[in-house]
Structure 1
Amino acid sequence: MVGNSVYCATRGVYSSPRGTVKIPADPSLSMVRFLLRNASSYPNRVALADTNSGRSFTFGELEAAINRVAAGISRLGVAKGDVVLIFSPNCIDFPLCFFAVISLGAIVTTVNPLYTVSELSKQTADSGARLVITVPQLFPKVRELRLPTVILGPSKLSVAEAAGASIVYLPDLLQSVGDSPAFVPPAAAQTDVAALFYSSGTTGANKGVELTHRNFIAASLMVTAEQDLRGDPPHVCLCFLPMFHIFGLSLVTYAQLQRGNSVVSMGSFDMEMMMQAVERFRVTLIPLVPPVVIALAKQGKVTSYDLSSLRQVICGAAPLGKDIMEEASKIYPDVEIFQGYGLTESCGIISLEVRVEGVRQYGSAGFLVPGVEAKVINVDTGVPLPPNGVGELCFRGDNIMRGYFNNLEATAWTLDKEGWLHTGDLGYFDDEGKLYVVDRIKELIKYKGFQVAPAELEGLLLSHPEILDAVVVPLPDEEAGEVPIAYVVRATQSSLTEADVQKFIAVQVAPFKRLRKVSFIDSVPKSASGKILRRVLIDRIRSRQ
């Protein structure tokens, strides 16, 4: 026993001080049935609301709404095991479609609306998606896929825009099935794959993370366990974090709804709109990312809106500095500001700060959530390390992914035979059992919680005829956490400029992947085996700061 945590020196394993969570034993329980298990106990409580459209559903209305959408999508030929791609910003129809597809035993893959046609096409091809759900403003990108498409929202495409495309509008689809469709969800198993979220993992190109019904159920219980332990009343949770991201969909939308909390959807982040929503819906809980907390800390206390309902702010997706947390807490002393840690491969959750007695110490990622075990292993030897020993963080639990879709090699590199997820993150547990994530072994760049794979950008750079070699590394940034920058070796006689290279990349990738800086060098540092020595350049950057 180490402080408040459980550390077994014999096994080298850390456990949660909160114990475990009880996962339902029924092997045929789907995540949608689990979501709705208690809905009849609070039928008039708002389940979903939308700041943009003003639409809402109570828990009493939610099951019927999901069934109607599922019945409509099934009429389009979607069956168990099929993959449906959702390409949309946040809206009230996003979770309805997500739950509806899963009700059919089908699988959802989500895509960042900022993705280019090329990026969208790659994920579509890899996942094998056979239907797309999107919004009118994104249809020009979707058209290139030549797949049947469901359009969300009240507005419609022009005749010219829709010409030759196989599209159906969700309102029309729902009208065709009626108010009470004869829909019986097919049998599902907790071990069935429910979603494919694409992640760069430790290195390399994006891979489909196979998340099962059990993964979602477990993660939802883990993230809300502290609310239950403290006896929190039902929360009203504001979700402007993108639902295509594991944080917004798993930990916010699904986890909060299954507990009976209300979820208010915002199409995108805007500080003023966020404040208005807190006042209007009496929001008690807001999940945030570091840039928003930084903005809150820098602007000082807001007095033009009534924020008295707000009780908790959970920060995730990227580390939040100790100084910023302290400053924000001084401005809003009645609001608990705490952070957690998770990965797409862990269905979004690994650790979370919990309320403890005494003086608050900021900076950690909290304690392991119930049901998660951890090891910290020496990077060179693989030997488990005791408290305060820095090594690679490895985790095991019912929330850990089944594997990478159609990629046995990447799965074997990441999940060992004992079920441990090797994260590529460096960290340690202190004597009290709090987790600290200090660095990364893996090459992934984290920009405002989004993943940027250096290998992807390097591949694009090398496709330029005047670039002989290139390496992409992270540059620390106060607002974004990290931004991608490139070191480029130009061909002899080349007149390429930094602006030329940045523009070449910008037209091919989503905005968050764009290069913030380009430097020209004579050669890329590499090992004898030809592996890029990114750490040499990263250390050079750090030495200049």
Structure 2
Amino acid sequence: MAQISNLRIDPRSGFCSSNSTFYSKRTPFPLPSNHCLDITTFISSYPHHGKTAFIDANTGRHLSFSELWQAVDYVATCLSDLGIQKGHVVLIIAPNSIFFPIVCLAVMSLGAIITTSNPLNTPREIALQMVDSKPVLVFTTSQVVPKLARSSVRIVLLDEQVINTRSEAKIVTTIDQMIKKEPTGSRIRDRVYQDDAASLLYSSGTTGTSKGVVSSHRNLMALMQLFSILVNPDEGEQTDICTVPMYHIYGFGAFAIGKLTTGSTVVILSKFDMNEMLAAVEKYRVTRLPLVPSILLALVKGADQIQRKYDLSSLQSVVCGGAPLSKAVVNGFLKKFPTVHIRQGYALTETTGFGASINSLEESRKCGAVGLLSPSLEAKIVDPVTGVAVKVNQTGELWLRGPSIMKGYHNNVEATASTLDSDGWLKTGDLCYIDDNGFVFVVDRLKELIKYKGYQVPPAELEALLLSHPEIFDVAVIPFPDYEVGQYPMAYVVRKTGSNISETAVMDFVARQVAPYKRIRKVAFINSIPKNPSGKILRRDLIKLATSKI
């Protein structure tokens, strides 16, 4: 990173004309100088006055900070007894629970790598991820165990439900048994360094199919420092509710581990349900609520009925991320909930949750912006055609560089090289501009991801699946705009000669093999898929065709 003190940086925008780089206007944070340090030890060293770390909204079970760290120590010892060592990959496939952070922290404390998967994924999707990540142990629930029928990997159950005899052969213990097993003697730990891999979360990257994002202990330390400096003592004690999945960078970084640095209490919902969420806000006097735009919209639409049924007076702020938030939705929310601030943000799995954010009431008045650049982060806005970095208020692809940028994509040198350049710049695939005051605005996406209720849906994965159908000759999947969910996958299908496959048959074929949020929800038949000379699908042409009929 360049020595900022030697550069002539515009204090308003953060732009330096000598190197066409934007610098964060936020105060930079230090990172520990001790290179031999793991993220779990780092988090446990944060001073705070918090008492309750986690509350399970379903069971009412409370976990104090001291109970949490004892559980982490006990589970880490059991993992060591099971032969888990530095560099091993451990998979957790489970809904949000009070055990999720315990498992993640215990695994990373040993220098092992935690990887996560959506419990709604199909056996096929889980198998593909396991082939890529090669886990030596899986933490999961009894409901998910049947999806692992073809795997021989050992299993630790996160619940006590009885499983069929065939599955029991792979179950080595349960999380409750681990937590109750007091360590005996001393165990030898491998030396863990800041640059070692800590997590392997799957993302669709800038294009194409899902890829494993390797984040180091240092990357996660940067995220922890970000959370710690955002604490506003004037806000008093804070209670957050985790409505977002912990297998995603948002839930993993912010709620499974991030809030432990601040002493906040996190109320955990195992799955999203609007009424359960609102009841938990009332019962536990939640002050901060993380949402995606589609849920925020639902709150606006049902505000009058919601406010009659639930006491939401404890809410101070709503944090919205995962997809762009329109000005109309923001204004609608503020009209219905005038005492609640909206804080938007922009981040990627590849940036370990860094990007830009709105951190104050004054900043939230900047309509349309996703915020100021995160601390210690640099940005460039690069013309996607010429490759030249542009200036303030000019649109181009957002490139980011800083201490939170991933190590790379797991076992994918080609994808890493196309996303990370030799100087450490990460190409986000998002078209953005940065204004005179340093605020980041997301205009469009160069990348081809579809955002369904904040979930990432890679078109290439669905296209590959559809092309396996014997009656489909060619296909293209595009995002179709929807007011309720943001976008949903739409397929343009070229039938094989003689085929009369229907729209319903196409949708059902996909639905049987993918998670619910990836399902095709609209089908149109076409004579040929428009492509450029190199064979790349001209999605923008298809999007124009689809939306021209709205």
The 5-angstrom pairing of residues 81-480 of structure 1 reads 81-153=87-159, 155-160=160-165, 162-175=167-180, 177-178=181-182, 182-183=186-187, 185-228=189-232, 231-301=234-304, 302-355=307-360, 357=362, 360-480=365-485
Amino acid in structure 1 at the alignment position of 2:46: N
Show the counterpart of 2:4.
none
Amino acid in structure 1 at the alignment position of 2:528: S
Residue by residue over 1:22-57, the C-alpha shift from the partner in whole angstroms, topping out at 9 and shown as x without a partner, is 112221221111111135x53x61011111122222
Show the counterpart of 1:37.
45
Amino acid in structure 2 at the alignment position of 1:201: G
Q: What is the Cα deviation at residue 143 of structure 1? A: 2.6
Task: Check whether the contact 1:67–1:181 (CA below 8 A) recurs between aligned residues.
Answer: no
Residue by residue over 1:375-429, the C-alpha shift from the partner in whole angstroms, topping out at 9 and shown as x without a partner, is 1011111111111111001101111101011111110100001111001110111
Residue by residue over 1:10-29, the C-alpha shift from the partner in whole angstroms, topping out at 9 and shown as x without a partner, is 11111111131111222122
Name which of 54, 67, 79 aligns with 1:61.
67
Count of equivalent residues: 540
Name which of 533, 542, 546 aligns with 1:537.
542
Q: What is the Cα deviation at residue 540 of structure 1? A: 2.1
Residue by residue over 1:451-507, the C-alpha shift from the partner in whole angstroms, topping out at 9 and shown as x without a partner, is 111111111111111111111111011122111111111011111000111111111
Q: Distance in 2 between matches of 1:512 and 1:364?
A: 27
Q: 1:358 to 1:390 in 2, by over 3 A?
A: closer
Task: Check whether the contact 2:203–2:210 (CA below 8 A) recurs between aligned residues.
Answer: yes
Q: Distance in 1 between matches of 2:163 and 2:115?
A: 27
Task: Check whether the contact 2:85–2:190 (CA below 8 A) recurs between aligned residues.
Answer: no
Task: Check whether the contact 1:18–1:369 (CA below 8 A) recurs between aligned residues.
Answer: yes
Q: 1:357 to 1:84 in 2, by over 3 A?
A: closer
Residue by residue over 1:240-296, the C-alpha shift from the partner in whole angstroms, topping out at 9 and shown as x without a partner, is 210001000102332211122221111011122112211222211111111111111
Cα root mean square deviation, aligned: 1.8
Q: What is the Cα deviation at residue 306 of structure 1? A: 2.5
Residue by residue over 1:195-246, the C-alpha shift from the partner in whole angstroms, topping out at 9 and shown as x without a partner, is 1011111111111100111111112222443325x65434211102100010
Q: Distance in 1 between matches of 2:88 and 2:530?
A: 45
Amino acid in structure 1 at the alignment position of 2:509: F
Q: Distance in 2 between matches of 1:518 and 1:497?
A: 9
Residue by residue over 1:322-378, the C-alpha shift from the partner in whole angstroms, topping out at 9 and shown as x without a partner, is 111111112111111121000110112200013254992322101111111111011
Q: What is the Cα deviation at residue 93 of structure 1? A: 0.5
Q: 1:33 to 1:200 in 2, by over 3 A?
A: same
Task: Check whether the contact 1:31–1:213 (CA below 8 A) recurs between aligned residues.
Answer: yes
Runs of 5+ unmatched residues, structure 2: 1-8
SS at match of 1:367: strand
SS at match of 1:173: helix
Show the counterpart of 1:27.
35
Amino acid in structure 2 at the alignment position of 1:197: L
Task: Check whether the contact 1:64–1:180 (CA below 8 A) recurs between aligned residues.
Answer: no
Amino acid in structure 1 at the alignment position of 2:108: I
Q: Which has the higher mean CA deviation after the structures are superposed, 159-168 or 65-74?
A: 159-168
Residue by residue over 1:71-97, the C-alpha shift from the partner in whole angstroms, topping out at 9 and shown as x without a partner, is 112222211110001000000001101
Task: Check whether the contact 1:340–1:349 (CA below 8 A) recurs between aligned residues.
Answer: no
Task: Check whether the contact 1:389–1:428 (CA below 8 A) recurs between aligned residues.
Answer: yes
SS at match of 1:314: strand
Q: 1:163 to 1:103 in 2, by over 3 A?
A: closer
Amino acid in structure 2 at the alignment position of 1:517: K
Task: Check whether the contact 2:71–2:179 (CA below 8 A) recurs between aligned residues.
Answer: no
Show the counterpart of 1:518.
523
Amino acid in structure 1 at the alignment position of 2:316: R
Q: Which has the higher mean CA deviation after the structures are superposed, 258-267 or 164-173?
A: 164-173
Amino acid in structure 2 at the alignment position of 1:139: V
Amino acid in structure 2 at the alignment position of 1:364: A
Runs of 5+ unmatched residues, structure 1: none
TM-score by length of 1: 0.95
Q: Distance in 2 between matches of 1:358 and 1:144?
A: 51
Q: Distance in 2 between matches of 1:220 and 1:476?
A: 35
Task: Check whether the contact 1:2–1:432 (CA below 8 A) recurs between aligned residues.
Answer: no
Task: Check whether the contact 1:424–1:442 (CA below 8 A) recurs between aligned residues.
Answer: yes
Q: Distance in 2 between matches of 1:347 and 1:225?
A: 17
Matched residues, percent identical? 44
Q: 1:539 to 1:255 in 2, by over 3 A?
A: same
SS at match of 2:520: coil
Q: Distance in 2 between matches of 1:527 and 1:96?
A: 49
Amino acid in structure 1 at the alignment position of 2:85: A
SS at match of 1:68: helix
Task: Check whether the contact 1:34–1:258 (CA below 8 A) recurs between aligned residues.
Answer: no
Task: Check whether the contact 1:15–1:373 (CA below 8 A) recurs between aligned residues.
Answer: yes
Q: Distance in 2 between matches of 1:510 and 1:422?
A: 28
Task: Check whether the contact 1:67–1:183 (CA below 8 A) recurs between aligned residues.
Answer: no
